[in-house]
Amino acid sequence: MGHVIETSETIGPKQTGRGAARRSELFEELVGLLTQEGFAHLTLDDLAARLRCSKRTLYGLADSKEQLVRAVVVHFFRNATVRVEAAVAAEPGPADRLAAYLRAVAAQLAPLSPRFFEDVAGFEPASEVYERNTRAAARRVEQLIEEGVAAGEFREVHVAFAADVISSVMVRIQQRQVATATGLADAEAYAHLAELLLHGLSR
pLDDT tens, residue by residue, 47-87: 999 999 999 999 989 999 999 999 999 999 999 999 999 99
Total-model pTM? 0.79
CA-CA distance, 26 to 13, in Å (whole number)? 9
Is 203 a residue whose pLDDT tops 50? yes
Contacts of 47 (CB under 8 A, 6+ apart): 30, 33, 58, 65, 68
In one-letter notation, the amino acid at residue 105 is V
Which residues are within 8 A (CB) of 80 and not within 5 positions of it... i.e. 6 or more apart? Answer: 1, 2, 5, 105, 108, 109
Contact 110, 102 (CB under 8 A): no
- What DSSP designation does 123 have? S
Domains of the chain (ranges; CATH) run: 20-201 (1.10.357.10)
* Residue range 127-169, pLDDT digits in tens: 999 989 888 988 898 899 889 888 888 888 888 888 788 878 8
